[in-house]
Structure 1
Amino acid sequence: MQNIADYSNQYAADGTVLLHPDRPKARYSLPSAIKNFRLLMKNKEDTSLVFKIYEALPPRTFMPRVQNLSQSEHGEFLRQTERDLPEILDDHAALRRTPKGSLAHAYCDFMESEGLTAAGLVADAESTGRPKYDDMAQWFGDRSRDLHDMFHVLTGYGRDALGEQCVLLFTHGQSPSHGHLLIGYAGSLNIKMQVKGSRAPIMAAAQQARRTGKGSPRLIEEPIRELLKQPVDRLRNALNIPEPTVYRECHKIWCSEGIDPYNLLAAETQSGDLVSA
């Protein structure tokens, strides 16, 4: 593996450096990640904590992935055509002009029903106060972040607690990262504790999500503009993204047990009444 300093002397085709020389060296800190994970479990709406966890657990393969994509002709094409994904993704008027049944329509439906915007996710990330740098590492990291909600749409995982963990583990399958692994599996175990006694196969759902991510093409390398135009069902088949069957089984079981998948905190007070396996 290359020395990190080597990336400060390499450039993309347009002259952008792979790693800005002023960018602080990434430092691995498991204690910091665990601290922020505990805070996240107390306040699951504080998305900024998620980005702090990622920052504390930088993957060793990150810069090689940045190099491979940014120094390829395909990577240069993506930068020229999709330099700012939030601008594309938040233009719902343009997205709605694609054919009915497209990924674009499914994405707009999801974002509008959840009250979300791609710009909002950017704001959450920037609320950590971490400086930005004009380098390819910034572009690559931002692109990965900006695809999070599209992953929800393509995989079929909702924004309930288990759905979020499954999307993170799908992301880990796509681009291995200890941050995604920690939040995904530890978060799933936390859900299992909240619904103690439930028959729902929570950890199996998490495993299925990770397998799906590993078995699909790396979506960060796909031309998002083109994906948005395609029929979403046909696209899932082309990208080898199967139905999230185990996740849906969890929801079905929880509903039969009187548990609201979107309000698992209420289940903690009812756990003694659940039917054991």
Structure 2
Amino acid sequence: MTDASVISTDSKGVECAADGTPLRHPDRAIPKYEPLKAWHHFRILLKDKEDTAEVFKIFEALPHKTFMPRVRDLTLSEQGEKLRSSEAELPSILDDHESLRKLPEGTVAHAYCDFMEREGLTAAGLVAESEAAGRPIYPDLIQWYGFRLRDTHDLMHVLTGYGRDALGEQCVLLFTHGQNPSHGHLLLGYAGSFHMKKTVKSGAPVFKAVRQAHKTGVACPSIVGMSIRELLAMDLAEARKMLNIPEPTWYHECHRVWRSEGIDPYDLLAERKEAEQLAAA
């Protein structure tokens, strides 16, 4: 809920936070709903799942009607004011592994550092990929909220237990949709899973895995509205319990089935590529 004590308006009647930051900058265009454009970028992404710039373009083409109410409810609240003061931007916090490693073993911080270092990732790297899309940046509350959603993506992997394999990414997207509804998440999550199921002939319960992830996201309190510093300091098992995040059983079952079928979960298309190469020989 918004809090009248932290809301003000400027001379043009634009809603602002207590420090004068506008909810929506006057130069920010109202996004248009363009499903065909989103589908075009989705097809490009299917050819190269590492092309993160296409992901941002898909989200931009599929604005959700509940986005602005969610931005307003958080940013124009006492909690939002507190977070903007203590966690103005997250990459510097998340990439400071030296400080995070000083927290006790078993905390979310250690699991996060392990994950990022194992995968060769940084929060700053995700920022760079986002900026590569060339979208304008505005000094408003929408921007702060959007950055926060972006910067917590890899933390979602750690909290949910989903890896960076193709299915793990679909599951995190649908978990995120459960938290912050977006047609972009739905397209990437479900259409991506359908493509996976169609491409890789297997008995793996892919749709059960992504549906479980979606339900988990709905049942989990909104992470974007929490203090990330406090969350990082929590014991990982306790954090998952607090957030109602269960073991991703169907995701693990998919991995078990794929391995029993001789399929590498982290390279699902390898078998298809080999077959195409043989056919072309």
Same fold (TM over 0.5): yes
Query: Is 2:142 aligned against 1:137?
Result: yes
Name the CA distance, whole Å, in 2 between partners of 1:146 and 1:13. Answer: 24
TM-score calculated relative to the size of structure 2: 0.92
Matches within 5 A, 1:161-200: 161-196=166-201, 198-200=202-204
Query: Is 2:132 aligned against 1:127?
Result: yes
Aligned partner of 2:3 in structure 1 is none
Q: Deviations over 1:85-117 (max 9, x none)?
A: 001000000000100110000000000000000
Pick from 71, 80, 92: which aligns with 2:76?
A: 71
CA contact under 8 A between 1:8 and 1:19: conserved in structure 2?
no
Aligned partner of 1:224 in structure 2 is 228
Name the CA distance, whole Å, in 2 between partners of 1:258 and 1:60. Answer: 44
CA contact under 8 A between 1:8 and 1:18: conserved in structure 2?
no
Aligned partner of 1:33 in structure 2 is 38
Aligned partner of 1:55 in structure 2 is 60
Query: Is 2:249 aligned against 1:245?
Result: yes
Name the CA distance, whole Å, in 2 between partners of 1:8 and 1:195. Answer: 54
Name the CA distance, whole Å, in 2 between partners of 1:45 and 1:67. Answer: 32
User: Sequence identity of aligned pairs in percent?
Assistant: 61
Aligned partner of 2:269 in structure 1 is 265
Distance 1:158 1:15, change over 3 A: same
What are the ranges of 5 or more consecutive residues in structure 1 without an aligned counterpart?
1-5, 272-277
Q: Deviations over 1:250-272 (max 9, x none)?
A: 0000000100000111233689x
Q: CA deviation at 1:13?
A: 1.6
Distance 1:178 1:8, change over 3 A: farther
Q: Deviations over 1:47-106 (max 9, x none)?
A: 010000000001111111111111110110000000010010000000001001100000
The letter of the residue matching 2:110 is H
Aligned partner of 2:164 in structure 1 is 159
CA contact under 8 A between 1:170 and 1:211: conserved in structure 2?
yes
- Worse-superposed segment, 149-158 or 186-195: 186-195
SS in 1 for 2:16: coil
CA contact under 8 A between 1:151 and 1:167: conserved in structure 2?
yes
Query: Is 2:97 aligned against 1:92?
Result: yes
- Worse-superposed segment, 6-15 or 65-74: 6-15
Count of residue pairs the alignment pairs up: 265
Task: State the 4+ residue runs in structure 1 displaced beyond 4 angstroms.
Answer: none
Distance 1:269 1:133, change over 3 A: closer
CA contact under 8 A between 1:194 and 1:267: conserved in structure 2?
no
SS in 1 for 2:269: helix
Query: Is 2:112 aligned against 1:107?
Result: yes
- Worse-superposed segment, 58-67 or 148-157: 58-67
What are the ranges of 5 or more consecutive residues in structure 2 without an aligned counterpart?
1-9, 276-281
Q: CA deviation at 1:12?
A: 1.0
CA contact under 8 A between 1:8 and 1:20: conserved in structure 2?
no
TM-score calculated relative to the size of structure 1: 0.93
Pick from 98, 114, 123: which aligns with 1:118?
A: 123
Distance 1:229 1:207, change over 3 A: same
Query: Is 2:254 aligned against 1:256?
Result: no
RMSD: 1.4
